């Protein structure tokens, strides 16, 4: 997994003071990283339009123009002039090389966006919006310097943003690159070295980006084993039966030794899923909430207050009974609307979905500060998995998973690992990775996935 930071100004300043690396040196490395990427991936016959703002992000672009000059056909556009000290220094250098500017946006094979960096803290003016609109309409390979212009320092898109194929971000990863709303803008993310290796540039953090290699599957490494060694998962069946069937199948597929559905009425389920009217005496984990609907309140309280490991989903995030369990170590898997309801029930805040989506990291931190034992899995385009002060970002999800039943598969996967004896955070991290990577591996049309397809893909990981 990779470290992620809320801001990098302090890390840049640390380079100045601790390693005697000047701002100029860092900028040269930033521009060189972009130049190297372009040189390694695109032939010298390509034309490159570099669009620069008046600050240091623009200065990165001016530096890039100098590094690529004579190798590529450079079209340098400075719609706002130059203002920062570094942009003035870099502009003087290109003047000495007699690199010319263009006066309007022109066609090019590659467009490099150097308008605004991570310091954007206000709405774009009309001219900026028009420039980004024109750039987005151009058919070209699009590269963003540090962060696509229009995404502000909090990772929000207020008006419009440059739609990049690749974002070359400077020094380290930033949380502003990982809000749901920016996923369609950032493209592939590459971290540029700024003069020292990332291990030196980076300091301590509580936020991490998950990699594919972080997935640990629940392989059975002991030959002398029986089904009891792998736990007994109980899935509480509510009025919407399909959800609990899906969760049960997913749980069984991901390694639970036994899976039982708990229901007052007989349910048509696969032969390998057991059925009972009450919690099994040897139950090692419970999945509850998915498709719950109306449920006896006393029975619900009894299940929730038991000391058995649990994953809670869906309907329970609208019920005050969930407050009975928030002092336990358990896994909660809300989508944004459900999380807004949970925040209200917990008296943390009363917000709408848009406010949450604009401030996902902020509200996850607030919830986990109040309930440090809980493992929260906030679903979305990028899944946030958090406990206490630590947040883990899973970016492998895609639109394929935007289907009814997908979340029930996730709950079943988490519950299966809990049943097998893994702790809550480990179960949430690995189940989330398995869930999203299974979706990414689906080869048919991206509108066609159903939950059983997803479960089949989990088998192939």
Domain ranges of the chain: 2-204, 213-460
- Residue 441 in tokens: 């591996």
* Whole-number pLDDT of residue 421: 97
* Whole-number pLDDT of residue 121: 82
**Whole-number Å distance between alpha carbons of 412 and 248:** 6
**Whole-number Å distance between alpha carbons of 367 and 12:** 31
* Whole-number pLDDT of residue 261: 97
- Residue 131 in tokens: 């420039």
* Whole-number pLDDT of residue 300: 92
* Whole-number pLDDT of residue 400: 96
Q: Same CATH topology for 2-204 and 213-460?
A: no
**Whole-number Å distance between alpha carbons of 411 and 423:** 15
The CATH label, of 3.40.50.10260, 2.60.40.10, 3.90.1750.10, 3.40.109.10, for the domain at 2-204 is: 3.40.50.10260
The CATH code for residues 213-460 is 3.40.1190.20
* Whole-number pLDDT of residue 45: 86
**Whole-number Å distance between alpha carbons of 132 and 125:** 11
DSSP string, 25-88: HHHHHHHHHHHHHHHHHS-TT-EEEEEE-SSHHHHHHHHHHHHHBTTBEEEEE-TT---SHHHH
Tell me the pLDDT tens digit for each residue of 84-127. 999 999 999 999 999 999 999 999 999 999 999 887 888 899 99
Instruction: Read off the pTM.
Output: 0.96
Torsional class of 67: left (φ above 0), alpha (ψ -120 to 50), beta (otherwise): alpha
DSSP string, 165-231: SEEEEESSEEGGG-SGGGHHHH-EEEEEP-SS-HHHH----SEEE--GGG--------SS--GGGG-
Positions of the chain with pLDDT under 50: none
**Whole-number Å distance between alpha carbons of 390 and 425:** 10
Tell me the pLDDT tens digit for each residue of 437-459. 999 999 999 999 999 999 999 99
**Whole-number Å distance between alpha carbons of 197 and 217:** 31
């Amino acid at each position: 997994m990779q470290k992620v930071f809320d801001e990098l100004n302090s890390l840049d300043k640390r380079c100045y003071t601790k390693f005697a690396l000047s701002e100029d040196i860092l900028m040269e490395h930033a521009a060189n990283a972009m130049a190297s990427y372009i040189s390694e991936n695109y032939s010298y016959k390509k034309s490159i339009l570099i669009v620069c703002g008046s600050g240091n992000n623009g200065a990165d672009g001016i530096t890039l123009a100098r590094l690529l000059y004579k190798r590529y056909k450079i079209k340098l556009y400075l719609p706002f002039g130059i203002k920062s000290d570094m942009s003035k220094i870099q502009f003087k250098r290109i003047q000495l090389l007699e690199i010319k500017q263009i006066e309007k946006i022109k066609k090019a094979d590659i467009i490099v966006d150097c308008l605004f960096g991570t310091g954007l803290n206000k709405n774009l003016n009309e001219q900026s919006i028009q420039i980004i609109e024109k750039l987005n309409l151009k058919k070209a390979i699009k590269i963003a310097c540090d962060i696509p212009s229009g995404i502000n320092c909090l990772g929000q898109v207020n008006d419009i943003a440059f739609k990049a194929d690749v974002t070359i971000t400077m020094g380290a990863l930033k949380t502003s690159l990982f809000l749901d709303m920016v996923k369609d803008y950032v493209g592939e993310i590459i971290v540029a070295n700024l003069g020292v290796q990332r291990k030196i540039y980076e300091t301590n953090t509580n936020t991490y980006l998950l990699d594919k290699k972080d997935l640990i599957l629940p392989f059975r490494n002991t030959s002398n084993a029986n089904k009891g060694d792998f736990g007994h998962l109980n899935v509480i069946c509510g009025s919407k039966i399909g959800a609990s069937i899906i969760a049960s199948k997913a749980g069984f597929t991901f390694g639970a030794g036994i899976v039982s559905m708990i229901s007052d009425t007989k349910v048509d389920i696969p032969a390998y899923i057991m059925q009972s009217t009450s919690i099994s005496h040897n139950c090692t984990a419970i999945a509850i909430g998915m498709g719950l609907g109306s449920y006896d309140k006393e029975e619900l309280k009894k299940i929730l207050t038991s000391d058995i490991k649990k994953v809670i989903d869906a309907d329970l995030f609208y019920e005050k009974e969930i407050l009975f369990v928030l002092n336990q170590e358990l896994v909660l898997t809300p989508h944004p609307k459900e999380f807004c309801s949970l925040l209200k029930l917990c008296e943390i805040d009363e917000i709408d979905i848009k406010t949450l989506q604009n401030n996902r990291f902020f509200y996850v931190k607030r919830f986990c500060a109040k309930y440090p034992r809980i493992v929260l899995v906030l679903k979305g385009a990028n899944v946030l998995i958090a406990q206490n002060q630590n947040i883990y970002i899973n970016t492998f999800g895609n639109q394929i998973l935007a289907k009814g039943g997908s979340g029930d598969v996730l709950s079943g996967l988490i519950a299966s690992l809990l049943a097998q004896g893994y702790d809550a955070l480990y179960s949430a991290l690995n189940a989330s990775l398995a869930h999203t990577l299974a979706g990414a591996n689906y080869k048919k049309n991206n509108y066609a996935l159903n939950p059983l397809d997803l479960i089949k893909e989990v088998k192939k990981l």
